[in-house]
Structures are given as C-alpha cells and as structure tokens.
Structure 1
Amino acid sequence: MQTARDKIRELRALHDDGLLSLQEFDRRKNAILDAEYSPLGGSAAPGASASPIQIRQGTELGLMAGQEIGPQNRRYRLERLIGLGGMGQVWQATDLATQEELGHSAQVALKILPPQLTQSATHTKLLIEEATQARRLSHENIVRIYEWAQDPATASYFIIMECLDGQDLDAWLAHSGPATPEQVQTLLRPVAHALDYAWDKYKLVHRDIKPGNVFLTQKGEVKLLDFGIASRARNAGSSLGMQTPNAGTTGYRAPEAGASQRQPSPKLDVYAVAVMIYQLLEGRLPFDENRSAQFLPSAPAALNEMQWQVLQRGFAFAQDQRPESVTALLDALLGASGPSEEELAAQAAERLARERQREQEQRREQAVRAEQAKAEELKRQAELAERRKAEAQAAALEKVKLDQQRRELERQQRLDAEQAAKERKARLREQLLARREADALKARQAQEEQQRKAAQLKAEAAYRAEQERHRKEQAARNAAELAALMPTPGSPVADASGVLRDRFLDGTGVGPDLVLIPTGRFQMGSSEHERAVAIRAGSQKSWLDRETPQHWVGIEYPFALGRFPVTVGQWRQFARATGWESMSDTDWASPGFKQGDEHPVVGVSWNDVQKYLAWLSEKTGQLYRLPSETEWEYACRAGTHTAFSFGDDISTEMANYDGNFTYNNGAKGEFRHGTTKVDAFQPNPWGLFDMHGNVWEWTQDVVHDNYEGAPGDGSAWERGGDAARRVLRGGSWLYQPRYLRSALRNGYSAVLANDIVGFRVARKLA
C-alpha cells in the first residue's frame, strides 16, 4: 500500500508536469496528511470498532470537500462524503458542465473507485463495461447510472449516478429493529420487480444483493444500487487475481458463486434475498462465511411451518432446489401465510357444528312460520269476502253516477262541436288572406334575389380575372427569383415534391435531400403559458430562462435545410473518402444499439461536423454549413406557435423519446432504447423530418444564457458566450418529452461526441 510520502511524491510530479496548480497541490497534500495522521486514519488501534462516517478534512485518495475532479470538459465539485469502504468513496457532487446539460439534476453521486481496483487494464475494461451496461437500465426501482469518467490528476475512475436522499436497508434495520413479514413484502417487492426487469430485458443478474445495496428514499421509494458494478470491482481487486464472475458479499453469497459459470443465474439473487429475509426477521444472518450443506439455522418466530419451509428452499445449498426468481420466492411466502392442517381441520369441525345447529333452528322457525301463515290465510279470506261485498255496493252506486256523467258529456260535446265548426270557418278565411299576401311577397323576393345573383356573378367574374392576373405576375416573379438563386446552367432544382439534391461534381453521388425554406418573420423563444406547462412537466426554471425574452426575428433570405438528419450511410461515405477516424469514446458505427444506413449518425462532435461540411461543399461546388439556432427554430416551427410543430401535445407515435414520461397530461408510450429511421414519423408542415426527438442536432451558435443581445436577422450568434460549447436543438431518444419543444435550448462541448447527438446540414442559395 502506498505511504503518505509516496502519494505526496506523485502529486509533486503532477505539479511539475503542469497538471496541478500550486493551490490544488497544497490542498491535496494537506488532505493526505490529515488522512494519515488523523485519529480516524490508518493509526487507529488494532481491534478498534468501526465508527460511522465522520466529517474529516480529506481522504486517502487526496480528495476533500470543495475540490473539483474529472476531465477538463467534465468537472464535478465534491460537496460531502456520503460513504467510504473497500469499494472506494461515494461523494455528493455538483455537476459543473456536461452532464447537467444532458438532462439530469445538477446534484449527482460519484462512486470513486480506489486505484488498486483499476491498476489492471483488463479489470478496468470490465468495470467500464459493467458501468456502460448498467447505464441502459431504466427502471423506477434501479438507481440511474449516467456516465463514467477518469480524473487525470489521481488516475481514479469514477461513476456518475443519480443522487438519492434517505438510508439503506442496513441503517433502517439498525434503527427500526426486526421487521414483520408484511414489512418484508413491502420492502423487497420493488427489489423483485427490478430484478425481473433486468433479467427479462437484458439477462442481467445483480450478483451482490445485500441490505447495503437496497436504498429507501425520503419519498418512500425503494432503489436497488450497484447493479453488477460492485461485484465486478470486488473481483478486480481480488488478491488471487482470478475472475469469479458470480462472486458476491460474504454471508449473502450463494455456495456456487465461486464456480465459473457461462451465464449467471437469477438463483444467485434468490439465495441472497432469502438470507436478507431471515436477517430482516431475526436481526442476524442465518449462516457464517463457512456454511456447510448440512447446517440449518433456527426458524424465525414470525414465520409458520409452511413459510419456514419456503424460506429454506430460498437459501437451499443446491441451486436447483430454489425458486426461479425473487418474485416467486415472495409469492410462495405470501401464499404460505395461512393456517396449518391441524388448524384447518379444527376450523372445519367447528363450521360443521355451526351448520347443524343452524339447520335445527331453521326447521323450528319454518314450523312457527307455517302456523302463522295458516292463521293469516283464514283472516285474509274473511277480509276478502267482506271487501267484495262492499265493492259490489259501491259499483252499483258508481254505475248510476257514470250514466249521469255520460249524458252530460254528450250534451257538452255537441255544443263544443258547433262552436269548433264556427271557429274553423273563421280560421280558413284568415289563412286564405294570409296565403295570398305571402305569395305576393314571395314573388317580389324572387325577383330581388334574381337581380342580386346577377350582380354577384358579375362581381365574381371580375374577381377571378384579377386573381388570374395576380397569379401570373407572382409566377413570373418566382421564376425570376429561382433563376437568380440558381444562375449556373444545369444546376439542380427542387423536384415535384419540393426536394433539392446537389450532384457531386465527379459524378460519384449526390448530397443530402434539401427542402427550400421561405423567407418570413416569427417569434423566437417560449411564451409564459408554455413555460408554465413545462414547469408542471418537471422543467427547471434555469432551463426555461434560456428561452427568454421571446422576440421577433426576420429571415429575409431563402436557404435550404436538410430534409433529414445526416444518416449513417452518408457519414460512412465521407469517412471512407477522407480516411476520417473518430477520437471519441462513442463508436459512431456501433453506438450500443442497432442502427442501419437510414438511421441518424451519432458519436460525431461539432468539430467533426465542420470537416464533413467542408468535404460536402468541395464535392458539390455549393456552400454547405450548419444552420444557425434561429434558422433551426424557424424551420422547426414551420409557421406554428405551439410547443411542438404539431400542437401542444405529443406522443411516441409522433416522435422518438422516452415514453415512460409524459407532457401536458398526455399518455405514456414506448421507450425504444435507441434511434429510429429518419423517416419513421410524419414531417412538419414544411416537409422536415425528425425535428422533434431521435437525436439532438448541432447548430453553428455558441452557448449563451438567454436571448439578451441576440441577432435579429437569423444569423449565427458566435460572439460572446461560452465559445467551448455549441447549441443543441430538438431532444433525443433518451430524453423526456419536455426536452423536445421547439423553443428548448441545450448546449454541449464542441470537442465531445455522444450517442444521442447528430446534425442536419444547411445550404446557401444566394
């Protein structure tokens, strides 16, 4: 192990090479000395018990609060030490640049691995592969992995993760004491869901399930930590130097974990969770690190006999005796929570006795009811005879009364009929007079309508003649403007669908499809109403401030814009022709998800794009460039004023984004985990595809905090601002829908590439 003197000597070498400032050298040197000579450092007395993490000035890696680590273009400021152990250090940190721009919170957690775990290049590669694979896991019960990086000053690798507030299950158990079976189900069901998702989606096994890797947030969420990363790091740091892909933590490690297996089984995690269940119920582990196949711990008091048998199968020595998954284990425990066979037999006998007693009572009640019914029937018959007699007398009186009423009614009807006949004759005379007046009025109106139609036909004929003359003049002006924009004989023009293609001068191909963009004016930025909706969808105010103030911009020159983002096939033609090679960690030809020639190219930096534009201009003899930020938003909106070019709502049938999230009360949809073909969705009103989602798109402008001082003529804004970064627009497949709005602005380092960033070209016309 390195001594404090060795560490300071290495820091002195970094300072002499210009990699550390004098101030940074002094801070790290003091931190190393604090760690070496502090009572909590390496000089603690043997056998002293480990205490919880204390506030200290520094750590053995020479790191301390307030220090910045990471590459020059990905810096993080350490805020406080969260965890410390054999796996290294976990710090809460503030993201100072790149990762905040790509969509997550400015507060992140950094897992900084100790140098001894990454001294071997093979072990380092395995750790990076694990971190990259864990980054693809998108589940509500798995902590989100954003990225990995290396600090050039300490050569330490670190992993950037979602920052959580709360405590792990170890701390919960120490504070709350043994759990009930119901609490076990509540705490471990989310873990089971996360493990099922990882296995069903990617055939991944955690391999290091333990209470320290189950985190309970202050919001009541359960998060699974270190998905395979801790296990891989522990193997990399093994003193034997052997790869044991299924190893876990002592006490939770399944007996077969040390053996080499081609594919880890989910039953490794079943074993570890069964041990955790025992620990949660009893407050201790069931086995020591040298478990034998014959040893059996005592049954937990909270479980019945059937549940204890289920739990024993969970941590069975032979893996073929365990349930297939953690979900199956929890379901079996829940199903076995009922009474025993003896209790069931006693309950059945008691139910039978109650049934017999109930039958006897029912027979007695039926006899009583039969006697009562007989007496009531006799009484009813007597009452019926009396009622019939009274009804006969009433019917005779009613008949006399009805005869009198009928004769009076007939007399009144005769009088009414005579009066109605007189009134009908009077109405007929009135209707005849009214009809004659109506016919005269109708004749006058028909004559007036005929005269009005004649005048209208004459006016319409004059209007059509004027419109025809105007169309002919406009067609002549358009022809003259197009001839002025394309003066060279044989220059390409737009086809019948409005698409322009430039042929290569050497006849080897054609340039990207272009769409002619008309001149006009529009309001750039977002309205107050749109920003309010975006905040309800989870946007941060600091992001929305970039879209202000909303202002008018005039595009007084026509230009052409790529119909699609530049595709993999088009970039491959450039790479082969020029011998271009990527300097990025992201492989454009194999970015980690399936792509074809019709998918948008990713993994190219802003500087790489400039090389492509110079090559394309040379091949076609035309001036190609990136669109300005203003031109991009003008073309994206295509005359609309809503959050998206197709309205204020969005779904995954309209664009490619993370459908696990919604915008403006929309419905959830599909998360495709990669790019789609550039023509997979409908174009905007001006015929442009993929302006929302799929990949972020580079523009020419440098990053500014807002629109104060922005040009109003559509040109690129390249003065002032952060010259090291360039503006991105449009959102991507990995992002939530709020990032796909027409007005949203993002920024990224011009020298970096990523698997979510591409571009489209613009072409000068005059």
Structure 2
Amino acid sequence: MSPVLAGRYQIERELGKGGFGLTYLARDLHLPGYPLCVVKQLKPQFKSPKKLKTAQRLFETEAKALQKLGKYPQIPQLLAYFTEEGEFYLVQEYIQGHELSQEIHQGQPWSEEQVIQLLKDILTPLKFLHDRQVIHRDIKPNNLMRRKPDQTLVLIDFGAVKQHLSELTQWGEKNQRTVRIGTPGYMPSEQAVGQPKFCSDIYAVGMISIEALTGKPALSLPADPETLEIIWQPFATHASPRLREVLQNMVRYHFNSRYVSAQEALEEVNRLQTLTVPTPALDIVPLKPAQLKSLESTLLSLPQPYQGSLSKFSFEVVTVNAWGKIIQQENREAQYFQEDLGEGIVLDMVVIPGGEFLMGSPEREGSDDEKPQHLVTVPPFYMGKFLITQAQWRRVASFPQVNISLESNPSYFKGENLPVEQVSWYDCEEFCARLSQYTGNTYRLPSEAEWEYACRAGTTTPFHFGETLTTDLANYDGNYIDDPEGKNRAKTTPVGSFPPNGFGLYDMHGNLWEWCADHWHDRYDRAPTDGSIWLDSDEWTRRVIRGGSWFLTYSIFRRSADRNHRNAGDRYCTFGLRVVHPIVPD
C-alpha cells in the first residue's frame, strides 16, 4: 500500500526530484472523493537539532506567507504544510496540464502576438505576488503549467522556502558558500549571488519570452564581453522595436536598469498592445494656396545664420492617399546654407520657419505617450537637410576632442553617403560640441518639439506624405498594418534617396531613428509649449528617439507623432542623428 503522510495524504506516484527534495502526486483522504494534490517534500541536508529547530521556524514562517496568498486562479493554492521525521512538506493544489517547456521549441520562433500574450499571461500572476511582497525566485518554462481545462498559464514552485532551507544548509560551515536559488539562463547576476529582487523575476520572464521569440535556448544566447548584456535582438528580426525594447528592459544586466516590478512591466506590455491596433484613416488636409504662399514668404524672409549667406534649392513634395497612391505633386523652394567642414565635405542646413502646430496625436491615432495633443509655438531654426553621413561624421571626429573620444567609423553598414549609425546619445552630443567649436556656430540635437514640427512641415496626417507610407517614399520594411508589403531593403540607404517633406528635409520617416536632446517623459501633460528641450534633473533618464528606421517594424512606428526612447549609451545600427542650428540663441 502507498505511504500516507500526516495520516492524510496518500502518495500516488513521484512527479519529480531536485536538489531540495521530491514532488509527489497524492490524494487527500480527508476530503470527499479523495481529490488529487501535490506534496512537496523538502529535505534539509543537515541533522543538527539546533539547525532543525531554526529550519522549522523559518519553514513555518514562509509557509504561512504563502498560505496568506489565498486562492488566485493562476497560482496553486497552498492547502497545508507540516513536518514529519525532520522533513518538511508543502501540500498544494494539483494543476492538470503540461509545462510551458513543451511549447517552446528550438528553431521554432513565436510570433510577436504570441509573445505579447505570453508576457501578459506570466506578468499577471506575478503582479499578484509582487503586490504582496513575494519574490518567486525560480521562474522558468518548467515552472509554468498550461492548465488543461482552460489553457491558462499557472505559476508554480516558489523558491522562497528553498532559499531559507539552503541558507540553513550552509549556516555554520567553515567556508560558507553563497546561496543560489534559481535556474541558469533565467537567473540574473544579483540572484546568482543570493540577492534576489522583484526585478530578478522580471529578468526570468524576459528570458523566457526571448527564448520563445528567437527559438533559441536561453543558455545558448551570447553576452557582450564589455557590457555583459545578452545579445538576442539579431535573432528576433521579425519583432517590432517596441517589443524588443520592452524585452531588453526586462533583461538588462544591471537590476537598476530593469523594470522594478511586474506591475511596471505589465503596464508597458499593455501599452505595447495598444500600439498594434491599426490607425484609422484620417482626412488629408493639404495646405491651401494662400497658406503655401505665406509659408514660402516666411521662408524667404527669415534671418541668415551668424556667418555666410543663404541659397535656394528646389524640390518636389508628394502626397498619397490611404492606399499609397500619389494624389498630389508640388514644386517648392527652400533656403539653406552650407557649412564647410573642410576636405570637400559640407553640411546642408535648411531654414525651418517658426510657427505653431499641434504636437502629438489625436485620440483616434497613436498611443498614450503621444497624448495629450497640445499647441506648441516653435521659433525659426536651421535643420540638417539630411541625416549626418559617415563622411561628415569621420571629418568631425577628426576635430579636437571636447569631452569624450569618438570612433571615426562606427557604422555597421559602410558607405560615405550612408547615414552614420551605431552612435549613442553621448556620441552625438560630442559630435555637436566639436562641430560647434570648429565652425563657431552653435549646433545641437533637435528638441523633440522641433523634430516633430520639422517632420510634419505643416501637415496633420499620420505621415508628412499623407495617410500612409510606402517603400517608394521611405526606407523601412514595407509593413503598415494591413497595407500590402513593399520592398524590404534590410539596410540603410544613401541620404536623399527618397522624396523630401514640405520643408525640404529628407528621410524624416525611416532609414534611422534620430536622437533628440530631450529626456524621455511618458506623456505630454507638463511639456513645454515653446519648442524648447524638455529635461529632467535625473541625468540617467532615457533620451528620446524619433522617426523609425530601416529595421523590421510596422510603419505605424514611423509616424510624425510616434515617440520612442533608449538609454543614452545605447549604440545600434538603427540609431543616427540630424543636427539643428538655432537662429534664436538657446
């Protein structure tokens, strides 16, 4: 006959074993029908009476804490706990189903939609735990069960009790070892040295999601030898930048750079889902002839830069409808000046007239971080006609250092007329400082308001081209929700390869994300209304990037109003810059 524990739980069979004991499937003989339950036997690796007494006290404290969680649909209920013959037992609700590890297979990456749902399924019960000050400590695919009746994911096998029993195992040893509760591949650095935090659980959830998204086992992913960050994004080219950003923030090497709790991570995931909703069609509002004439008059009457003279250039502006068909073509002129950088390299700076515009997106477009839409008055300024090229970067990098060193050729894609990439916000600040020192004129990154004002160029549609974007108009992967796919070039293109906007600026949509001077803010509730740079006292705040890039993502993330952010030190082959020269001194 099968053994009966505590005179109540009859063992049916062994479910598994590990370093801390055994797990059994059992029946509760005290309840009608003898329902199934799970009995976890935790076996301390010591016999000292003093240690056993302390172990029992800690075990009961942790068990009571777990029992206080009560009944929650995605966490097995703790039914009982007891000690017998110096061993500790937990009795939990039995979850019929299979482990998540049976759904994640090497070489079979999940879709973005599947991963977003997975994140929600795990973060929801984890938020319940974190709200009650409980750290799981051992989240991994084997500890997530897909319940058979309703296909809900259930979070099992807490590591808290194991943590304390392990501490007691090492207690009093001559060479006390560091406690490590967790599983390699899903356990972050601070947990590996026995200092788990709420964000340690976030790391584990992020690694599970990355494993599903890439189809690569967590332990097989390499780490950057300098930053120790996991290198996984090259294996997730089918995912949007927003999803990749959320996952990257979950698995940062240093815990201070991660989301602090499941609630914060879940909020970002929920916001991510709102961004996948197709943007409804908006009415195109082309500028009237009188407005165009006024705009051109303003352009021609603006003050000149501190030195040099203005020239004119002509260009064609196109407008498309919701299907990407060109419905309007106009010839325009703008003024600009050339900054001579030496060695035959020049920088074209276009006059941007001052004016007012509605910054952000209307209620039926975009996400919450683009709200509320608000009126901004922008003074006139000059802006780079193109993204900074590799030739321009190399030349300015040769100028005397102001604050930090610059790599002269940092780009992944090589070409004199290709935009420079793999540059951080700090690199761009140094570039502007050297450029200003060399020319005697002030150069800087644009404020976020200046960037959106310049991108829109008087338009109110999602893109300065109109309702949508096509790969004949910009360099991106060719997706805009339900529109037909275009050409995916999978690399940067030479600056000026596509039509400009109404101010004569090129590549404002796609090619590369463009760093702005501003610190990141989640909403515009207290944003400046004068076009100025919006800063925080916290220097470690993330910086704004705008415009989207060549890399795989929906063009909804390249709209005029779309916003994104990155750590100031990040360098990717999707980040570049465009400079401004203020007419009114900052």
TM-score computed with the length of structure 2 as normaliser: 0.50
Contact 1:699 1:726 in 2 (8 A): yes
Q: How much has 1:643 moved relative to structure 2? A: 0.4
1:736 aligns with 2:572: no
The match for 2:362 among 506, 512, 527 is 527
- 1:674 maps to which residue? 491
Q: Aligned ranges for residues 200-349 of structure 1 at < 5 Å? A: none
- 1:339 maps to which residue? none
Q: 1:581 to 1:707 in 2, by over 3 A?
A: closer
- 1:356 maps to which residue? none
Distance 2:157 2:189 in 1: 20
List per-residue Cα deviations over 1:248-279 (Å, max 9, x = no partner).
xxxxxxxxxxxxxxxxxxxxxxxxxxxxxxxx
**Secondary structure class of the residue paired with 1:77:** helix
1:113 aligns with 2:197: no
Structure 2 counterpart of 1:55, one-letter code: D
Q: 1:629 to 1:108 in 2, by over 3 A?
A: farther
Contact 1:503 1:511 in 2 (8 A): yes
Structure 1 counterpart of 2:442, one-letter code: L
Q: 1:554 to 1:760 in 2, by over 3 A?
A: same
Contact 1:697 1:759 in 2 (8 A): yes
- 1:315 maps to which residue? none
**Secondary structure class of the residue paired with 2:484:** coil
Q: Aligned ranges for residues 98-137 of structure 1 at < 5 Å? A: 112-113=218-219, 134-136=235-237
Q: How much has 1:527 moved relative to structure 2? A: 0.9
Q: Aligned ranges for residues 611-626 of structure 1 at < 5 Å? A: 611-626=430-445
Q: How much has 1:621 moved relative to structure 2? A: 1.4
1:755 aligns with 2:578: no
Q: How much has 1:70 moved relative to structure 2? A: 8.5
Contact 1:582 1:604 in 2 (8 A): no
- 1:447 maps to which residue? none
Segments of 5+ residues of structure 2 without an aligned counterpart are: 1-18, 21-61, 63-85, 90-100, 102-141, 144-155, 164-178, 192-196, 256-264, 266-289, 315-333
Contact 1:131 1:147 in 2 (8 A): no
**Secondary structure class of the residue paired with 2:458:** coil
Larger RCO (CA under 8 A, 6+ residues apart): 2
Q: 1:581 to 1:602 in 2, by over 3 A?
A: farther
1:712 aligns with 2:535: no
- 2:507 maps to which residue? 690
The match for 1:500 among 336, 339, 345 is 336
Segments of 5+ residues of structure 1 without an aligned counterpart are: 5-26, 28-36, 41-50, 81-89, 154-162, 164-466, 532-543
Contact 2:335 2:350 in 1 (8 A): yes
The match for 2:422 among 603, 610, 613 is 603
Q: How much has 1:679 moved relative to structure 2? A: 1.3
Q: 1:559 to 1:638 in 2, by over 3 A?
A: same
1:77 aligns with 2:199: yes
- 1:727 maps to which residue? 544
1:565 aligns with 2:349: no
1:630 aligns with 2:449: yes
Q: How much has 1:61 moved relative to structure 2? A: 4.9
Distance 2:557 2:371 in 1: 16
Distance 2:461 2:575 in 1: 24
Q: 1:132 to 1:630 in 2, by over 3 A?
A: closer
Q: How much has 1:147 moved relative to structure 2? A: 6.8
List per-residue Cα deviations over 1:662-698 (Å, max 9, x = no partner).
23x4211222222111112111111110100111111
**Secondary structure class of the residue paired with 1:624:** coil
List per-residue Cα deviations over 1:480-530 (Å, max 9, x = no partner).
x55x54465xx232244435344448x545542111001211111111222
- 1:55 maps to which residue? 157
Contact 2:359 2:561 in 1 (8 A): yes
Contact 2:306 2:441 in 1 (8 A): no
Distance 2:218 2:211 in 1: 19
Distance 2:543 2:212 in 1: 20
List per-residue Cα deviations over 1:373-393 (Å, max 9, x = no partner).
xxxxxxxxxxxxxxxxxxxxx
Distance 1:144 1:751 in 2: 14
Q: 1:581 to 1:693 in 2, by over 3 A?
A: farther
Distance 2:496 2:190 in 1: 39
1:746 aligns with 2:564: yes
Contact 2:339 2:347 in 1 (8 A): no
Q: How much has 1:601 moved relative to structure 2? A: 0.9
Contact 1:628 1:700 in 2 (8 A): yes
Structure 1 counterpart of 2:393, one-letter code: W
- 2:32 maps to which residue? none
Q: How much has 1:583 moved relative to structure 2? A: 8.8
Distance 1:654 1:643 in 2: 14
Q: 1:69 to 1:748 in 2, by over 3 A?
A: farther
Contact 2:377 2:531 in 1 (8 A): yes
**Secondary structure class of the residue paired with 1:701:** strand
Structure 2 counterpart of 1:632, one-letter code: W
Q: How much has 1:63 moved relative to structure 2? A: 3.4
Q: 1:527 to 1:70 in 2, by over 3 A?
A: farther
Q: How much has 1:107 moved relative to structure 2? A: 10
TM-score computed with the length of structure 1 as normaliser: 0.39
**Secondary structure class of the residue paired with 1:763:** strand
Q: Aligned ranges for residues 296-445 of structure 1 at < 5 Å? A: none
Distance 1:679 1:76 in 2: 47
Q: 1:91 to 1:111 in 2, by over 3 A?
A: farther
List per-residue Cα deviations over 1:632-671 (Å, max 9, x = no partner).
1111000001000011112222112222x323x4211222
CA RMSD of the aligned region, Å?
Answer: 5.1
Contact 1:70 1:76 in 2 (8 A): no
- 2:471 maps to which residue? 652
Q: 1:76 to 1:547 in 2, by over 3 A?
A: farther
The match for 2:373 among 539, 550, 556 is 550
Distance 2:444 2:464 in 1: 24
Distance 2:511 2:459 in 1: 21
Contact 2:388 2:577 in 1 (8 A): yes
Contact 2:520 2:543 in 1 (8 A): yes
Structure 2 counterpart of 1:551, one-letter code: H
- 1:575 maps to which residue? 397
Q: 1:134 to 1:549 in 2, by over 3 A?
A: closer
Paired positions, count: 354
Contact 2:299 2:353 in 1 (8 A): no
Q: 1:145 to 1:649 in 2, by over 3 A?
A: closer
List per-residue Cα deviations over 1:428-450 (Å, max 9, x = no partner).
xxxxxxxxxxxxxxxxxxxxxxx
Distance 1:629 1:666 in 2: 29
Distance 1:752 1:602 in 2: 11
Q: How much has 1:748 moved relative to structure 2? A: 0.9
Q: 1:502 to 1:615 in 2, by over 3 A?
A: farther
Distance 2:214 2:235 in 1: 16
1:93 aligns with 2:206: yes
Contact 2:418 2:492 in 1 (8 A): yes
Q: Aligned ranges for residues 153-172 of structure 1 at < 5 Å? A: none
Give percent identity, aligned residues only: 34
Q: 1:590 to 1:714 in 2, by over 3 A?
A: closer
Distance 2:245 2:385 in 1: 35
Distance 2:362 2:246 in 1: 34
Distance 2:411 2:439 in 1: 29
Which structure features the higher share of helix residues?
Answer: 1
